Structures are given as structure tokens and as C-alpha cells.
Amino acid sequence: MKYKYTSRSEEDTMELAQNFESEKFPGMVICLDGELGSGKTVFVKGFAQALGIQETITSPTFNLVKEYHDGEMTLFHMDVYRLKDSCETVGFDDYFNQDAVSIIEWPDLICGCLPEERLDIKIKVYDENTRIFIIEPHGQAYEDICNSVL
């Protein structure tokens, strides 16, 4: 089952992320796929804000993973756009197994390392301010979340 959500502004996308945040659980994994400028990082910002994270969210260009510990739950923000080593080398499994939420930009690059149970979000740019979100839950927990959020 896939869900569709139309975001008409950056604020809409932030709100969608905040709604998912309210359903968070330790070990939650969200994959954000979409071209540059589609709004992946905006989504992470909305999620982080709802977690109560004060630190500014910027894309983890050099270290692939940024950790935020000052919110209600630890957030791992992964942007693997520039991944050069294999994902095994980076050891993503260690992140996914912690009591934290992981959000991954460009998940296709590490698809072999992703847990089976996760939330896949594909963002399509429709026009300057409109984004189409195609949301696909994998696993019962994520299906339940989509049922309450969407």
C-alpha cells in the first residue's frame, strides 16, 4: 500500500514531518528519496524541530552521519550522496540498531544496508512550491503509523 500526500509549501512538508515525529519509536528508520532541492532536508528539519532539537540541521556532507542528542530521542541524519566506501565499511547497522530515529537522504546508495522494516518516502517536484510525497511503509509498525498520520 502506498500513500500520497501533496505538499504545497515548505511549511506543509515541515508539518508532515512533525506528524511522523509524533509517532516515533526507538529504531525508527525513514528513507527520503528525491532529486536535489525536492525537500528532503526540509523534512528532516521539521522532524528535528518536533523532537525539540535546538541545533541547526545542515546536511552531513563530510561525515555522512550527523548525530543530534539534545532532543526527546537521538536523531541520526544520514546524507550518503557522497558515499565512496561501501555501506558495510561505514557500519550503518550500528546506527539502525540503536534507540534512535534514523533519517536517510539518498537511500538507494545504501539499499543493501537498509533494514527491511522502514518507511520509504519518495518526493517528486511538481512545481516551484508543490511536492508530491509517495509514502510506502514496510512492516506493521510503519503501516500503523501511516494509518494514523495520513
Ligand X SMILES: Nc1ncnc2c1ncn2[C@@H]1O[C@H](COP(=O)(O)OP(=O)(O)O)[C@@H](O)[C@H]1O
Residues that bind ligand X (CB under 6 A): 7, 9-10, 12-13, 34, 36-42, 105, 129, 131
CB of 140 to ligand X, least distance (A): 28
Give the separation between CA 110 and CA 17, rounded to whole angstroms.
22
* Nearest position to Mg ion, beta carbon: 41
- E-strand ranges in the chain read 3-7, 29-33, 65-68, 74-79, 100-105, 118-125, 131-138
- Dist CA 53 CA 72 (whole Å): 8
Closest separation between CB of residue 144 and ligand X, Å? 25
Of the candidate spans 16-24, 53-61, 88-96, 112-120, the one that interacts with Mg ion by CB under 5 A turns out to be: 53-61
Residues 10, 87: Cα–Cα separation, whole Å: 31
Residue from 30, 32, 34, 40 binding Mg ion (CB under 5 A): 40
Q: Using CB under 5 A, which of the segments 9-17, 22-30, 35-43, 65-73 binds Mg ion?
A: 35-43
Interface region with Mg ion, contact rule CB under 5 A, candidates 3-11, 27-35, 58-66, 84-92: 58-66
The whole-angstrom separation of Cα 96 and Cα 113 is 10
The answer to whether 41 contacts Mg ion (rule: CB under 5 A) is yes
Count of beta carbons in the 10 Å neighbourhood of residue 146: 18
Q: Residues in contact with Mg ion, total (CB under 5 A)? A: 3
Rg of the Cα atoms in the chain: 14
Q: Select the residue interacting with Mg ion from 18, 19, 49, 59 (CB under 5 A).
A: 59
What residue is closest to ligand X based on CB? 39
